[in-house]
Structure 1
């Protein structure tokens, strides 16, 4: 792709907007109580599963997206993903058939899986230096604000019935049209000046450094997800709030995620090697606050710190993928890291349950104590990365 095409503001915006769909499946979570009433013959747990079953499609199709792109091209792969998200996303607005609705939610995951890794790897591959870091930061901002706005408008549409809330997924249409108009069909993963270093045959090879990052992000996502599944229970358990107040605090997290993107962009280049250290330290402090807090205000500070940690950790991890491996390996390596991240999120309830059984303590407070310990261990890991950053960087063969 020519440099003029890469530098086009509409090209950059089209790529950035893909990040909205990486986390958008849960934007209609508020419809679940009304859906349970609409489907009395369906087990409530199965109805609740419609909000998380998309992870299955994401896990399966994120690694497969690279194989699809090899066959039909990157642009067509992403357009296919957007079309599937659009069609699957609005199906619940048009039908009262629960099996079809359930299948459509899996479809959301399939579409997301086809484009998720490219929302990051295109930035890593097409841009370099400070511009790359800024765009990675903006991707986190777009993701956080996009999730907030989709959730907000889904809530507004919900006043007209739960079916209407699903029209929020129609946002995929303008993004689809923009991507079709401003991204060339010749889109390829290459970096200027590095073309001779690209080993196409080794593009599906995953280095040990990337597997280490994948394991790290698995444990990070599993631990972070404790907030989604246990925070409301913690607030009630500790007696300083109710489910509604906990929900309000969690809503603030979307803004905190956007703030994390801005912090990453504003960070001096010399500090970027320790960006993971800074983000994990923020998460560690946030989780520690949850273990000692007796007020909504203090817990709110913890929520903000964890929100910042989430966005900074994801964008810093993807930046490391770009720095630690060859240009040809970036797409598949990115998909591996994103897949393990989604597996971590999906397994979070079972991780919390396993910890409760092992230590014979099922309280929400204990879950966050365990989370604090895990974050402390992750902090040691990212400190090692920070102090050995130059050694870990990809070196082209002479």
Structure 2
């Protein structure tokens, strides 16, 4: 029973890596409550947590060195709790703004560990299942929190922020069931490995670049999809919002797809995730109906789960056990930077080619994903060249079955 609860405690952490967007529906009502605050500033409430995530994700590893991984995770959860509920109890906008930054800081502290702990604690098929289930938990958790916040919204926008009370039992769960020594890597054969734990292999930077470009392109769906639907006259902004709601379920489904794909075609998991992304953007590029666009959105959600889970699995295969945690934080940080810069990336593409249409943005995304797919396929064919050469010598390095 304890092992099951430990697994659950680790998996549930993935929910809080995306919890900042759970209250996005409150923005219009907040604008009415603060008419003297610019709409742009109020909209920042949903994106400003990304800055905290970007800064504190790599910092989390140094914090863990000082106070332990478990205490770092619990500190992150406490910050998420306070940052989450403060808007529910105050009408002071500067304080609300600061609370969202605190939420991002807390998310950054636990983000990399939500994945690296799976790599360090589980092996083989169990590791595959845990990585897949992490995506399932993230997708379903995102839906549940967003839905709960929407229900609470009927009683005023401040009520929606009480959804972060769910963090309290999770803090207790982590405190009771996650071992105190979790995250520590001791390599008896290579005692010098600990001193190299903050070094980043060149192959990890390649993964980080992939994650950056993928997220910068994937986020086109968030910033351009509604405009695509409306500009082509086959739906309304509300229709687009409904279709985007399917993405949470698609991400959950993607977790199960990842488990199957990694079991049978591990070396090509990243390429398969990019294949889904390429097909999805192709459908969105040619779509003139809500049905076809809905299918495209679903495939995007599946691709995100497969791709991001494959990044974590690849980190395990391409670096030493002692470097997994910090390498994971670097890749996750680059992915978040990609998401944050996506609007500017899309604008730059439009300006360079002189085409401001939403459809063109997805055409550009299609080409980018196709290029990444070809590169990932090449890496899959030559995967043995990218593996960490001494992984078979490290007694505690996690091995993933091919």
Tell me the CA shift for residue 197 of structure 1: 3.8
List per-residue Cα deviations over 1:9-51 (Å, max 9, x = no partner).
Answer: 1111111110001111001000000000000110010000000
List per-residue Cα deviations over 1:205-245 (Å, max 9, x = no partner).
Answer: 10010000000010000000000000000000111000000
Tell me the CA shift for residue 88 of structure 1: 0.8
Question: In the aligned structure 1, how far is the partner of 2:177 from the partner of 2:255?
Answer: 25
Q: Taking structure 2 as the reference length, what is the TM-score of the superposition?
A: 0.95
SS in 2 for 1:367: helix
SS in 1 for 2:356: coil
Which aligned pairs between 1:317-336 and structure 2 lie closer than 5 A?
317-336=311-330
Tell me the CA shift for residue 268 of structure 1: 5.8
Alignment correspondent of 2:156: 161
One of 279, 299, 302 as aligned partner of 1:305:
299
For the pair 1:121 / 2:116, whether they are aligned, the reply is yes
SS in 2 for 1:10: helix
8 A Cα contact 1:25 1:54, kept in partner: yes
Alignment correspondent of 2:90: 95
Tell me the CA shift for residue 273 of structure 1: 1.1
One of 18, 28, 35 as aligned partner of 2:30:
35
Question: In the aligned structure 2, how far is the partner of 1:345 from the partner of 1:394?
Answer: 29
Alignment correspondent of 1:372: 366
Question: In the aligned structure 2, how far is the partner of 1:139 from the partner of 1:385?
Answer: 25
Please list every run of 5 or more consecutive structure 1 residues that lacks an aligned counterpart in the other structure: none
Tell me the CA shift for residue 195 of structure 1: 4.6
For the pair 1:348 / 2:342, whether they are aligned, the reply is yes
Tell me the CA shift for residue 183 of structure 1: 1.2
8 A Cα contact 2:135 2:305, kept in partner: yes
Question: In the aligned structure 2, how far is the partner of 1:247 from the partner of 1:289?
Answer: 18
8 A Cα contact 2:128 2:262, kept in partner: no
SS in 1 for 2:46: coil
Tell me the CA shift for residue 278 of structure 1: 1.0
Question: In the aligned structure 2, how far is the partner of 1:228 from the partner of 1:350?
Answer: 13
Alignment correspondent of 2:101: 106
SS in 2 for 1:196: coil
Find runs of 4+ consecutive structure 1 residues off by over 3 angstroms. Answer: none
For the pair 1:132 / 2:89, whether they are aligned, the reply is no
For the pair 1:152 / 2:147, whether they are aligned, the reply is yes
Alignment correspondent of 2:194: 200
8 A Cα contact 2:269 2:306, kept in partner: yes
8 A Cα contact 1:197 1:326, kept in partner: no
SS in 1 for 2:199: coil
Question: In the aligned structure 2, how far is the partner of 1:281 from the partner of 1:244?
Answer: 29
One of 50, 55, 67 as aligned partner of 2:50:
55
Which aligned pairs between 1:168-247 and structure 2 lie closer than 5 A?
168-190=163-185, 195-197=188-190, 199-247=193-241
Single out whichever of 290-299 and 179-188 deviates more from structure 2.
179-188
Tell me the CA shift for residue 171 of structure 1: 1.3
Question: RMSD between aligned alpha carbons?
Answer: 1.3
Count residues in correspondence: 391
Residues 330, 237 of structure 1: alpha-carbon distance in 2 compared, 3 angstrom cutoff: same
Residues 47, 391 of structure 1: alpha-carbon distance in 2 compared, 3 angstrom cutoff: same
Question: In the aligned structure 1, how far is the partner of 2:332 from the partner of 2:262?
Answer: 26
Question: In the aligned structure 2, how far is the partner of 1:106 from the partner of 1:337?
Answer: 21
Tell me the CA shift for residue 388 of structure 1: 1.6
SS in 1 for 2:180: coil
8 A Cα contact 1:291 1:368, kept in partner: yes
Please list every run of 5 or more consecutive structure 2 residues that lacks an aligned counterpart in the other structure: 394-402
One of 77, 81, 95 as aligned partner of 1:82:
77
8 A Cα contact 2:258 2:269, kept in partner: yes
Alignment correspondent of 2:399: none
Question: In the aligned structure 2, how far is the partner of 1:388 from the partner of 1:154?
Answer: 46
One of 242, 250, 268 as aligned partner of 2:244:
250
Single out whichever of 168-177 and 23-32 deviates more from structure 2.
168-177
SS in 2 for 1:41: coil
8 A Cα contact 1:85 1:112, kept in partner: yes
